[in-house]
Amino acid sequence: MTQRKTIHRYDIISNTTRWELLFLVALLSILLTGMPAQAATEYEFPPVGQLPVGQLPAGCSIDDPSITANQLSTTSYTCGALTLADGDTISVGLLTTPVTVTFTGAFTTAAGNLINAQGTTSDLNIVTNGVLTLGADTILNTNVTGTAGINLGAGSSIGGNITASTTTGVVTLGASSTVGGFIHTDLGAVNVAGLSVVGGDITTEAGVVTLSPSVSVAGGIETIAGGVTVGGSSIIGGDITTEAGVVTLLTNVSIGGGIETIAGGITIGDGSSIVSGSITTEAGVVTLLTNVSVGGDIETIAGGITVGDRSSICGSVITTGAGVVTITTNVQIGGDIRSVPGAITVGSQSTVAGNIIVTGAGVVTSTNNLIGGNISTIAGAITLTDSRVGGSVAASGAGVVTITNSVTNDTTLVVPVSASCSVAAPAFNHFQIEHDGQGLTCASENFTVKVCADTTCSTLYADAIDVKLSINGILDQTVTVVGGSTVASFSYTHPGTATLSIDQTYECKSGDSTSCELIFTDAGFRFLYGAAETTSIGNQTSGNNFADIIKLQAVENVNGVCTGLFTGNVDVELSQQNIAPSVTTGLNFKINGTSGTSIDKYPIYTPIITLDFGAESKATIPMPVYLDAGKIRLYAKYNVGGVSLVGESNDFWVSPARLVVTATAGGSAITGNSSSSAIKHKAGQAFDFTVTAYNALGTSPTNITANYIPNDIQLLLTRTGPTAGGVDGTFNYGTGTIESKLTPKYISIKPVRLSAFNSGVSSTNSASYSEVGLLSLDLQDLDYGFSGNTITTDSLNIGRFTPDYFEQTVVEPGAFFAVCNQNTTFAYTGQVMVSDTTKGAISYLAKPVIELTAKNVQGVTVQNYTEPGYNKFIAAANFIIRPTTDSTILGKDTNFLPLTAKLLAGTLSHDGLVASAPSFGDTLGAGILHYELADGDNFFYPRNENSEVIAQDNNIDFLIDQVNFVDSDGIGITNPVDITSTTGINLRFGRALIENSFGPETANFPQKLSTEYLNASGRYVANEQDSCTPYNASNVILHSGTLDKNLVSVNAVTGQLEKGETQAIILMAPGAGNQGTINIEYDIYSWLKYDWNWNGDETKSFDENPTATAAFGLFRGNDRITYQGEVFD
């Protein structure tokens, strides 16, 4: 029986021991079978000084054996012709430099030979001066340079590049072959059979490139003189370029780039697509068959262009020479069609999004098409039939335009664009392979594949995607990535380097490194987790002992099985690495609990950690705890007596135990939770907003997890007041905003995030909330580190938010009212109410109203202020400064005339209080109040000598008391607007008088009572506007003159003056024979008394009633008196 081993690197078994074991195995085989078996040969090219006799293939020798390994920059061997038998393998020793093997003759393999199969392509370079022929399914993991033909059998693979450097070097790939890198020839042809894969470009100078169906080329194809033929259903990732060669694509070919020739023609088969590039040629003819799509332009200089049925061109179709453009049926052109003298024919049911332009004498013909732009020629004819044109149609010079059943200048025309021209951006950005950089040959090794939605891989793409994983360029497995991240595993059974790759754009991440290489050894440490002893440590919580047991196992590979190495107590070294963030600072990983031994940060190890490995080489790490946060990895190391072991855990996440949110201003928490809370803060005013990550040991600063960096911070902002009505406000958290809601949901604040976390703390001093009211904030970090763990906070009450100030305006200046309000509204100086002499006779006809609008710091109305419980205004009389003078009328002393005002607390309302406004009685806008001066306010002007001034309209200013006009929170008006335009009344200094009367002693006669005022001319004149002063005959006081007063009486009558007088008071006749006079006095109101006896020097007292004389026994007046009046000095 034939024993076959895969290629490996040198391990710790010596060469002598290796060959002794092989000899014993061979001898045992002979004894058991009775006849020798044809054994496969394991050839090896080791470095200088490690070469056992007979290990090299026959005819191979080191180029310079006298040079030591330390002197070599590379190790070179030369071989003659070599043919490998079935099962033969070639490996490369454990080298620090690569090996180059040059064959002077042919190199031929049998089917299935393995050459450097477990190594990397950089370990081995093969140079052949003869023909290289690989048998079917052979693996050659190397770069190959040949001066003769290079032939790959079906299913075989070369891991690196192929270079054929002479005129005879033809490269031929059999069906289903794989080349990991590029293929280059000088003059030789390149022939690739179906289902083969080329990982790079195919380039040749004069050779012809022929691809059979279903070939995949990751790069492009380039020739100078040779033609290019691409078989059906093949995929070319890059461009196809040739100078003189012809390019032919058969059916359903996909080209990732463009196609360019100089003289060669280009033919594109049915259903093929040029994904993102253009087709260009100078002299070649371009022919597109049916259903072809081109992502860019088609352009020729002299060659014609034919676009087949149902094809789509995302760009323009242009010929700058004499080429003719022919567009068949159902074609979609995303740009223009342009030619110089060449004709342009557009077949039926086609669309052109741009213009059709001929800059020469070419003819344009369009039938049953949609043209989005203009059609023009210089001298050529234009024939338009059954078509719609968005622009104009014009032929210059001798050109004739023929339009049949068509529409031009159609501004409503919308030309459809092919769906293939709307290339959607990939939903993901790249893939990321995460691994720990080490593995054991006796155990499967885990790795993680992530689908990154952005360049930093901070967001994952959740849809399921299949990727193909290769190990050292050899396809290993298909991994299905679900939910953005999937853990998979692979086995690598020989010591050496395993390089991971996938068939997508990817990057690798191993701690701080971006290497895709894992180093596999036969012995080392394994970290085991939980009862199942999995090699994946689960995610943990900072400050808590790990959720399950961690064990450290020391193993070696014995016949492919991980077997224990240690027993009992062994001193090992431990280290802990911060993977994310990749820093060496932060709190420690500890064993034996939070007060136990601190473990150093990688790459420093903590020595002499004594662990009991028992009988099974498994030691429990006691009470492990990590006090910080982030993605971490654990390391173990042992190096005693020539035995060297290393090992590392998987990367796992440790999350903070909690996040604590605070809101403070001036060092004090703003955590009010009711509308009556004494804790308050102004809406829109900045405050400090801080989020701190702590471990499970408490909220002391020493327990802050400095390495915490969030993944997806989400906020839940509840408006807790007002709740019956009101509006939501905007919470600014320093780097973004979020709206409050009565029933909110968590909202991710990606990509803005919070202010950057620094040492576990995110803080901003520019947080604010725009509205009045109360908030409750919840915060969580969803899926921290994509670990499935969500870190939460306790709810934080924030508030109470108040206005910053009130904007105040006068919406109703008001008007004054006096008791006498007929025709001309006037009041007498000193006049008070008859019914209540403590009240002035002047009040409001229309009460002044001011409007208050609650504002935040930014000057925006805070609408919630007028919601129940949040309006803190209480009406008070001292909102207005009590006026003490008129603001227009001057007294005799030339100062403003004093007045007496009595102001009461007015009315505050969220309803409109301006009686003349349409909004009267209706609810005002949110955040707006009306303050109406009190109905009981009253005014009068003291009556004295200083106030004896001519009649004029009064003017009383109401000044806002900025100190007292505040709500109960002390929030007031920043720019007060005084009430200065209240409509006044006419203030008149008045007096009453009664005239002398006479008549027979036998007849009753009237006693006239009238009022006067000091008019603008400085004279007292009858106050004809006074039809309201009350009179009562009982106020008449009779005094004896020449006649006894008791002989005369007065009728009982009351009433009001009419036009300033009354004659309703009647003196009753004393009877016949009772002739003589009596003196009459009328007890008048104080504001109508006068100083009738003023001597011109003393201060006037204005406290005398009017008086007169009534004469009984006279029948007429004095004939010599024609006018009687009062003269003033």
Q: Are residues 662 and 540 in the same domain?
A: no
Instruction: Decide if 630 is inside a domain.
Output: yes
Cα distance between residue 165 and residue 257, in whole Å: 27
Q: Are residues 740 and 828 in the same domain?
A: no
Instruction: Decide if 482 is inside a domain.
Output: no
Q: Are residues 824 and 753 in the same domain?
A: no
Domain that holds residue 1091: 989-1112
Burial class of residue 538 in the structure, from the number of CB atoms within 10 Å of its CB (0-12 exposed, 13-18 middle, 19+ buried): middle
pLDDT tens-place string over residues 792-851: 999 999 999 999 999 999 999 999 999 886 666 899 999 999 999 999 999 999 999 999
pLDDT at position 36, please?
40
DSSP string, 703-715: GB-TT---S-EEE
Q: Are residues 979 and 1084 in the same domain?
A: no
The residue that leads in pLDDT, 957 or 353, is 957
pLDDT at position 25, please?
36
Burial class of residue 1052 in the structure, from the number of CB atoms within 10 Å of its CB (0-12 exposed, 13-18 middle, 19+ buried): exposed
Instruction: Decide if 608 is inside a domain.
Output: yes
State CA 440 to chain mean position distance.
45
pLDDT tens-place string over residues 466-494: 999 999 988 899 999 999 999 999 999 98
Q: Are residues 969 and 1033 in the same domain?
A: no
- CATH code (residue 1082): 2.60.40
pLDDT at position 794, please?
95
Per the CB < 8 A criterion, the answer to whether 969 and 959 are in contact is: no
22-51 average pLDDT score: 52
Q: Are residues 855 and 962 in the same domain?
A: yes
Task: Point out the domain boundary residue: 986, 1004, 1024.
Answer: 986
Cα distance between residue 634 and residue 537, in whole Å: 10
Q: Are residues 344 and 414 in the same domain?
A: yes
Residue 533, token pair as written in the block: 């002893």
Instruction: Decide if 639 is inside a domain.
Output: yes
- CATH code (residue 712): 2.20.130
Instruction: Decide if 97 is inside a domain.
Output: no
4-28 average pLDDT score: 36
Least confident of 315-329, 780-794, 824-838, 1008-1022: 315-329
* Coil vs helix vs strand at 1091: coil
pLDDT at position 11, please?
38
Q: Are residues 921 and 838 in the same domain?
A: yes
Residue 1005, token pair as written in the block: 């006669």
pLDDT tens-place string over residues 892-902: 999 999 999 99
Amino acid identity at 939: F
Question: Counting every residue, how long is the chain?
Answer: 1129
Least confident of 156-160, 322-326, 515-519, 1071-1075: 322-326
Q: Are residues 639 and 703 in the same domain?
A: no
pLDDT at position 704, please?
98
pLDDT-based confidence at residue 1127 (cuts at 50, 70, 90): low
- Residue 995: is its pLDDT beyond 80? yes
Query: How many domains does the chain contain in total?
Result: 5
Task: Point out the domain boundary residue: 928, 957, 986.
Answer: 986
pLDDT-based confidence at residue 1116 (cuts at 50, 70, 90): low
Cα distance between residue 157 and residue 142, in whole Å: 10
Q: Are residues 873 and 978 in the same domain?
A: yes
Instruction: Decide if 544 is inside a domain.
Output: yes
Q: Are residues 814 and 948 in the same domain?
A: yes
- Calculate the alpha carbon distances from 100 to 45, 73, 85, 91, 179 in Å: 9, 11, 22, 12, 19
- Positive/negative CA dihedral, 1089, 1093, 1097, 1099: negative
Angle at 1029 between CA 1023 and CA 1030, to 5 degrees: 145
pLDDT-based confidence at residue 1062 (cuts at 50, 70, 90): very high
pLDDT-based confidence at residue 69 (cuts at 50, 70, 90): very low
Radius of gyration of the chain from its Cα atoms, rounded to whole angstroms: 54
Instruction: Decide if 690 is inside a domain.
Output: yes
pLDDT at position 7, please?
30
DSSP code of residue 112: T
pLDDT at position 17, please?
38
781-791 average pLDDT score: 89
Q: Are residues 756 and 695 in the same domain?
A: yes
Task: Point out the domain boundary residue: 986, 1019, 1037.
Answer: 986
pLDDT-based confidence at residue 415 (cuts at 50, 70, 90): confident
Instruction: Decide if 173 is inside a domain.
Output: no
272-301 average pLDDT score: 87
pLDDT-based confidence at residue 97 (cuts at 50, 70, 90): low
DSSP string, 668-719: EE-B--STT-S--EETT--EEEEEEEE-TT-SSGGGB-TT---S-EEEEEEE
Cβ partners under 8 Å of residue 442, min gap 6: 493, 522, 555, 556, 557, 558, 560, 561, 562, 563
**Helix, strand and coil in the chain, % to nearest 5:** 5, 45, 50
pLDDT-based confidence at residue 1007 (cuts at 50, 70, 90): very high
pLDDT tens-place string over residues 687-735: 999 999 999 999 999 999 999 999 999 999 999 999 999 999 999 998 8
Burial class of residue 1033 in the structure, from the number of CB atoms within 10 Å of its CB (0-12 exposed, 13-18 middle, 19+ buried): buried
Cα distance between residue 298 and residue 537, in whole Å: 57
Cα distance between residue 437 and residue 498, in whole Å: 9
Cα distance between residue 802 and residue 774, in whole Å: 9
- Calculate the alpha carbon distances from 411 to 372, 373, 384 in Å: 9, 10, 18
pLDDT-based confidence at residue 20 (cuts at 50, 70, 90): very low
- Mean model confidence pLDDT for the chain: 88
pLDDT at position 15, please?
37
